[in-house]
Structure 1
Amino acid sequence: MSKQFINEAFWIRAIACLAVATTHAVDTTLANYEYSANQLEEHLLILIRFMAYFGTPAFVFLSELLLARSYPNYVPQGFFKKRIKFLLIPFISIGILFAFLISHSWQEGLRQAFVHIFLGGYYGYFILIIFQFYILHVLLQKYLRNWSPKIALSIAFAINVLYLSFFNFTEPMNNAAAEYIWLRGYWVPFLGWIFYFVLGYYCGKNFEILKEKLFENKKKILLLPFLSIALIVVLVLTEILHVVSSKRVDMLLYTMSMIFAIIAITMTIDRVPVFIKIISKYSFNIYLIHKFILYLMPTIDFLNPLLYFVFVYMVAVGGSIILAKLLSKVKFSQYLIGKQLVVPNDSDLSRGKGS
């Protein structure tokens, strides 16, 4: 199959990557200014973090959208081997390195490394989710092709809502295992992301129709993110939902609205800006590296929390790109920080074609 690209995929990947970095930059800021930030600054940072939580589920959506576009009937030979080499091995490498970075002894580092790799206990857990959906894509694509999209999406949405609601609205049993599962263990199983997978599949298979529908309803589509984030704010302020992560049940609507809004806006832009191409190219590297930089960032007393957030955010994203570029010259670096993605010239971009 010849390599083809769609502009909107670069936008979604870049914006989702920046959103993930935003959530972690806010976490770093709130941790470093825990006792010095005023209430307004703290609430604004928390709002920014909630607005950026769509990043990780958007990656799940995009991964399946591209699979459905590129491999509608079968995956090529070597599909899993390539992804093990350049996704799973970097996940393991970074998981081990980050474990020892945050630990104070070899024993603690080994224990953390086990949790990171086998339980998805660090920010790289997304890779474990993606691999589950690679397997599901192979197993389910022949069924998804024949099922009604409305029925399949409705069932997937219901499963996703029920799964997240169980962990969002119930308390764990009084033991360490249950507490870990309720804290973050439930993040890894595919049931918590199944709607994004099915949505990505049908959007990938029917991308032209999707764009037509978004164009016809553009004003409504652009309003949806504001309405869905307003719902999240209400649920937070009323303390109906206490979960602080992208695994909130209300994030299903917000993420879908953000994805559709991004496509609706960017499908009218003929050329992908250089900045978006760069972020898209280094997105996986940024994803793996930026937390190392944020973890090492000290408090800067002369900056207020909001300026500090902007500063560490720019250092984390920019530093990740620079470090990835430097390390790319080192042999086998792709097994540590992953590969840079292919970014085509403008002449190679074909509107509405799969990548």
Structure 2
Amino acid sequence: MGRSNVIKEIYWLRAIACLAVVLTHSITTTLSHYVDTMSQAEEYLLIALRFIFLFGTPTFVFISEFLLSYSYANGVPKGFFVKRIKFLLVPFIFMGVVFATITREIGGSFINQVALNLFMGGYTGYFVLVIFQFYLLHMLMEKRLKVWSPRLVLVGSFVINVAYLSFFHFTTPPASGLGEYFWQRGHWLPVFGWLFYFTVGYYSGKHYRTIIEKLKPYKQYVYVLPFLITVPIFGLVRTDILSVVSSKRIDYVLFTTAVIAFILLLASQVNKTPSLILIISKYSFNIYLLHTVFLHFMPQINLIHPFLYLIIATVACIGLSILVVKLTSILPFRSYLFGKTLPVPLNTRSPLDWRKQEQVSGPLNYLNALKRSVWNPRR
């Protein structure tokens, strides 16, 4: 049986990771529109910001395994996979078809693009396939992880993770279209490129309060470490030793872990979770699936500064993603298109029983319950 509450810091981590993903893609859109008109300093600053925000996607691997480990001490409940197939995999398939429709080149094969999106990580929703692999890995390995040495598991997963990514960073792809694609993007799908985040998430979920208490005496180091790690990251980029523009970089295994520790420790010191954090956390999966659709259609606005455009693009795609979910909330099948919204606490100072939230019957009652939890956080 799962625990009855969720740690409030996870709302912070999920919301910030979601914002980081959106900002990463918004910066890419801004660069594509303004690279010929902005100064070199502006371009370098945007590129630097994009590298900083790349921690977003791997953070979701950590969150997923953290919640599994924390909530289900004695194994996942009956119906676990069925529920996630309905509300994660089905929306992934639907949005994969949507992306194939809007991004297909003129004269290109629609079926090929759909297949690329659904099986080879051809669009941003590929992350759902990664998460499902970790669901399976959690179920297969949980009993062993309980008894194995955490130190050996963490070191082993770190070595495997770094070795796997290094292979694709520093080797030449086969001289074929499929080989080049797999070296560029397809290798993101197997679990080996994310394994360390999985094991860190597992043990963090099992021993969260103990870990936080042990980190508090060293908080000044925890708060400084992410900034220190950006120095070698920028150095590797500037020297072209490692020019990969992706969160699947070997240096991000450490950077993302440091950022996660930074956010969790800092959020643990805050008594009340702001409504904005709860709102973004609530719609994070919907935003993840939908935001690049709106970025795809974002036009260049010549009369404004690139950084103002970045802000507008980020706010617009988050706002429009939430608006789409709200406008379609009366549809009984909405969750199969854009995914479910996530429960948020009725009182941001106290833990939330997720299962009680999920037991609200009917889409309208469910929506109303979630509206109350966001807009009246002090009820």
**In structure 2, how many angstroms separate the alpha carbons of the residues matched to 1:151 and 1:57?**
21
Deviations 1:46-94 (A, max 9, x none): 1111111000000000100000011122111000000000000000000
* Comparing 100-109 and 288-297, the one that deviates more: 100-109
Amino acid at match of 1:103: R
For structure 1, the residue ranges without an aligned partner over 5 or more in a row are: none
1:349 aligns with 2:337: no
Which residue of structure 2 aligns with residue 228 of structure 1?
A: 229
Residue of structure 2 equivalent to 1:71: 72
- Unaligned 5+ runs, structure 2: 356-379
Aligned counterpart, 2:358? none
In structure 1, the residue matched to 2:146 is: 145
Find the counterpart in structure 2 of residue 237 from structure 1: 238
Q: Alpha carbon RMSD of aligned pairs, Å?
A: 1.6
Structure 1 segment 163-312 matched on structure 2, within 5 A = 163-312=164-313
Q: Structure 2 length normalisation: TM-score?
A: 0.91
Q: Secondary structure at the match of 2:241?
A: coil
Contact 1:5 1:349 in 2 (8 A): no
User: In 2 relative to 1, CA 60–18 (structure 1 residues): closer, same or farther, beyond 3 Å?
Assistant: same
Say whether the 8 Å CA contact 1:73–1:141 is kept in structure 2: no
For residue 47 of structure 1, what is the aligned residue in structure 2? 48
Give the aligned residue type for 2:63.
L
CA–CA separation in structure 2 for the residues paired with 1:348 and 1:135: 34
Whether contact under 8 Å (2:8, 2:348) holds in the other structure is: no
* SS at structure 2 position matched to 1:3: coil
Amino acid at match of 1:110: I
Shift of 1:32: 1.3
Offset at residue 212 of structure 1 (A): 0.7
Q: Deviations over 1:231-275 (max 9, x none)?
A: 101111111101110011000111000000001100011111100
Residue equivalent to 1:335: 336
In the superposition, relative to structure 1, how do residues 218 and 335 fare at CA in structure 2: closer, same or farther (>3 Å)?
same
> Hey, what does 2:24 align to over in structure 1?
23
What is residue 63 of structure 2 aligned with on the other side? 62
Asked if 2 retains the 8 angstrom alpha-carbon contact of 1:70 and 1:354, the reply is no
Q: Contact 2:345–2:351 at 8 Å: present in 1 too?
A: no
Q: RCO (CA 8 Å, sep 6+): is it higher in 1 or 2? A: 1
CA separation of 1:129/1:121 partners in 2, compared to 1, >3 Å: closer, same or farther?
Answer: same
Q: What's the TM-score once normalised by structure 1's chain length? A: 0.97
Per the alignment, do residues 267 and 332 of structure 1 end up closer, same or farther by CA in structure 2, a change over 3 Å counting? Answer: same
Decide whether the 8 Å contact of 1:5 with 1:348 is kept in 2: no
Given that residues 4 and 348 in structure 1 are in contact (C-alpha distance below 8 angstroms), is that contact kept between their aligned partners in structure 2? no
d(CA) in 1 for partners of 2:147 and 2:265?
A: 27
Once residues 18 and 90 of structure 1 are traced to their aligned partners in structure 2, the CA distance between those partners, rounded to angstroms, is 20
2: CA distance, partners of 1:294 / 1:335: 22
Per the TM alignment, residue 109 of structure 1 is displaced from its structure 2 partner at its CA by: 2.4
CA displacement at 1:354 relative to structure 2: 9.8
Offset at residue 178 of structure 1 (A): 1.0
Write the letter of the residue equivalent to 2:36.
Y
Pairwise CA distance, 1:3: 3.4
Q: Which amino acid in 2 is paired with 1:194?
A: L
Question: How many Å apart are 1:180 and its aligned residue?
Answer: 0.6
**Aligned in 2, Cα 1:348/1:329: closer, same or farther, shift over 3 Å?**
farther
Provide, for residues 72-123 of structure 1, a one-character-per-residue CA deviation record: whole Å limited to 9, x for no partner. Answer: 2211100000000000000000000111111245853222111001112111
- The range that moved more, 237-246 or 338-347, is 338-347
Displacement of 1:183: 0.8
SS where residue 345 of structure 2 aligns? coil
Distance, in Å, in 2 between the alignment partners of 1:233 and 1:277 is 32
Equivalent in the alignment of 2:131:
130
Give, as a single letter, the amino acid of the residue that structure 1 aligns with 2:195: I
Shift in Å at residue 325 of structure 1? 1.2
Moved more, 131-140 or 70-79: 70-79
- Structure 1 residues 318-327 or 202-211, which shifts more? 318-327
In the alignment, residue 23 of structure 1 is paired with which amino acid?
A: T
- Are 2:273 and 2:349, in contact at CA under 8 Å, matched by a contact in 1? no
Q: Distance in 1 between matches of 2:136 and 2:73?
A: 14
Counterpart of 1:34?
Answer: 35
| Deviation larger for 97-106 or 17-26 | 97-106
Give, as a single letter, the amino acid of the residue that structure 2 aligns with 1:329.
I
Residue identity matched to 2:95: I
Could you say what secondary structure the match of 1:217 adopts?
helix
Identity among equivalent positions (%) equals 48
Match of 1:346, SS state, is: coil
